[in-house]
Amino acid sequence: MCCCTGRSRHLIDQPKIRELIQAQLVEVGSTKATHDLSYVMKVVEDLLIDETVIHTRGNITKAARFLGMNRGTLRAKYERLLQSRRDLHLNSSRKAM
């Protein structure tokens, strides 16, 4: 439900997500190695958390309410996400030297 108008709206293009998942499954199925697709859930969760925190302008309490999770849980997940970005940036900076 839209927080502004009270009307239901689809914020997620479900057919597009389904198409992307199917493409990933085809790619995984074409290789002989065994793959774990749990990383897809991780990527979706990280994007959802990141975009919701941006949308709420950093208001973790409001973002947690939108996501239907405990504020402390969201804060911990968001801190982990930020730390992984810092680590990635630091590692890429070191490789450039």
Domains of the chain: 36-96 (1.10.10.60)
Q: Please state at what angle helix 38-55 crosses helix 71-96, rounded to 10 degrees.
A: 100
pLDDT digits (tens, 9 = 90+) for 54-73: 999 999 999 999 999 999 99
Task: Give mean pLDDT, residues 72-96.
Answer: 90
Burial class (CB in 10 A: 0-12, 13-18, 19+), 63: buried
Task: Give mean pLDDT, residues 74-86.
Answer: 96
Token pair of 87 as six digits? 């680590």
The pLDDT of residue 1 = 45
